Structure 1
């Protein structure tokens, strides 16, 4: 009997399924959108502007929208940030790798104190400290920066700030992280996920016609339910001055009423008192001839929507030349 031939079936080759990446995922890898909004009602014992007797104001203080990412197929990054409340371009720069560090070219915030470099919408209080407001908006220039596990540094050459000469402003900063830093959140007022601590030194020199120079020390401690910050500014021999209206106390004027060879300082703290309630206290001393000082007390509530935050803030101002006054503010902020 003849056995039938054994037929060997060829192995079945299973092709891997074709995975089509959604376009949205590809875009998310290249682009990131976000922003901050804040509306404020303000009542002051002082006139808010020169030539005006207004002491009450309601306005949109912040309306920041940013887009950032990288150019496809390259290591070149970019960031555009517009403030639609003031119609000012906050930042617009390209970032390129440079050895172990990087290079920024365009318009960006000066590498000064923490409250200076961060978006104002992410800060706990309704405005920057007077020290943090020195270079709060972006300026055109070039910046080199680098980092290591415990040390960051940056140096920037930017436009001067007197509005007349527009000569060179040089700002340098070095930061040491003595506690493991945690990821900073873009949610307004949000606490970090673990303890972090840093100390930094920053220096600036403005060579404009009415130039100025100074050195700042900045200490930051932060945890899940508390934060602490200290800023000390040592001013040099050249400081330009300004008038004495309430908008200066809100960070609209930079070195106004500060004097040469003085040491202004600011200290602030915030603590989570309930799951969605946070309280903060800030002291500021201008160390000027009028012995001006300011105390801010703020209470903040995070809504169930997460990114929505209400903040009530009362500021007590003291001055030998202007007398005592108060500023009451109620703000509604949102980050996205």
Structure 2
């Protein structure tokens, strides 16, 4: 309907465009009346032909549109049919796949069941064989135990007789061994007492020697400090107590004043530093008592 309305409007526009509205229409004369009527009839025929042509074009266009739509519908149907066929094929493949999975699972289950059955039968056979072997072993063990029991009885009888003789011999030997052991322990006790007494005597003598050596070296250390001590009358009768630490070679590794007169203490520290090394014993036990000593220094006057 829209196309038809458009065609009619177009024809009307063409007719209107062919009319000249600028000039006045000629006055009709009696001689000219008939040709004008004829022209109008001719124009109507053209319009009708044009309308018919437009209608035909419309029909052709409708036919082409219908043919195009039919072709589209055909292609849509074919595409739909193709999709349906593809979906059917996919469904069929999926069903076949599921069926294959079911069959595969069934086969696997059957194989598993067969394997379990075979294992169970093997276990039963193994258990039966083990039971047979156990019973056979028990029979043999029983026979062996009976044989050994008889042998043991005979051996025990022989052993009892031999044991009685051996026990008598061992008892005699044990009495002899105990007597010898008692004599040996008494002898060792006496020797240990003698050695302990000797060690105590040696230790006492060594302690006396160490005390003597410590006193001697202490006097030598004091004498060395006195030789290096610079004295004056202000120091007479005064003392200083110092701490000294010595290395094994007599080198003074540390010294400090403990108490005393400040003048004497300064002189004492100077004397220790001046000496550098002090007398020490080469004997380890004597050195142990001399390596750290406290000395009281009192200046000596001639």
TM score, norm. by length of structure 2 = 0.16
Greater fraction of residues in strand: 1
TM score, norm. by length of structure 1 = 0.15
**Over alpha carbons, which structure has the higher Rg?**
2
Greater fraction of residues in helix: 2
